[in-house]
Amino acid sequence: MIAPQRFAGTTAMITGGVQGIGRAVAERLRAESAEVVLVDRSEAVHEVAAELGAHGVVADLEEFSGATAAAERAVQLVGRIDVLINNVGGTIWAKPYEHYAEDEVRAEVQRSLFPTLWCCRAVLPHMLDRGSGTIVNVSSVATRGVNRVPYGAAKGGVNALTTSLAMEVAERGIRVVATATGGTEAPPRRIPRGPGPDGDRERGWFQQVVDQTTDSSLMKRYGTLAEQAGAIAFLASAEASYVTGTVLPVAGGDLG
């Protein structure tokens, strides 16, 4: 249920905001009165930001320089960052680990771990200066899943980052939490993550991921973007003020 004033007076920086969960969270926070800065490496971020009445920033968050520039620009635009939602990431390939090339392993980790590492590092000084702030990392239950070992390893790193950073900064006014998302139904991506399955063998590997994701869910279904956004919005809000260092599975009962 939308709480129209829940984020009144709150600023939020959301990464990967052009599509999928990132956009759904942005829509939810805007509906609940947050001032939002969307960050994405696609120029489409400006179009989406205009549609939502938000601000758009283009940055490559796989590099620390990009994360730092994005944080500084967000502060320029809205004055401060109360909430950081690290949403950038996602499986590029789906195949058994022995079929990954070295550069593919590096690309998966670069995509799904480093943007969160860098953005936490870039935004944290701003929050510590003010003695308050909330970081919500978007992880995955794919830490226990088939045909996505490098991605699962990257998201395991996000989980460790969440818990260890929370321990460091809790007494300094900062909360750090995460959701572990399960399979999520979403419209076709306007910007593909990767080349997609090529041939029957790769399509079979991808179907194994789909089947395992559904089988691992007690509800035997994929979630919705609204269900993911609702959990993230709760963790980002003052209603979760006594929650930190926690990774919340949002996967129909799959604990990852």
How far is Cα of residue 128 from the mean position of the Cα atoms in its chain?
22
Residue of 97, 151, 222, 242 marked catalytic: 151
- In DSSP terms, 133 is beta-bridged to 174
Largest CA-CA distance found in the chain, in angstroms, rounded: 54
| Tokens read off for 227 | 């269900």
Q: What is the DSSP string of the chain?
A: ---TTTTTT-EEEEESTTSHHHHHHHHHHHHTT-EEEEEESSTHHHHHHHHHT-EEEE--TTSHHHHHHHHHHHHHHHS--SEEEE-----S--S-GGG--HHHHHHHHHHHTHHHHHHHHHHHHHHHHHT-EEEEEEEEGGGG-SS-HHHHHHHHHHHHHHHHHHHHHGGGTEEEEEEEE--B--PPPSS-SS----HHHHHHHHHHHHHHHHHHSTT-S-B-HHHHHHHHHHHHSGGGTT--S-EEEESTT---
Task: For residue 222, indicate whether it is catalytic.
Answer: no
CA distances, 242 to each of 160, 167, 181, 252 (Å): 19, 13, 21, 24
Distance CA 181, CA 178 (A): 9
Residues designated catalytic: 151
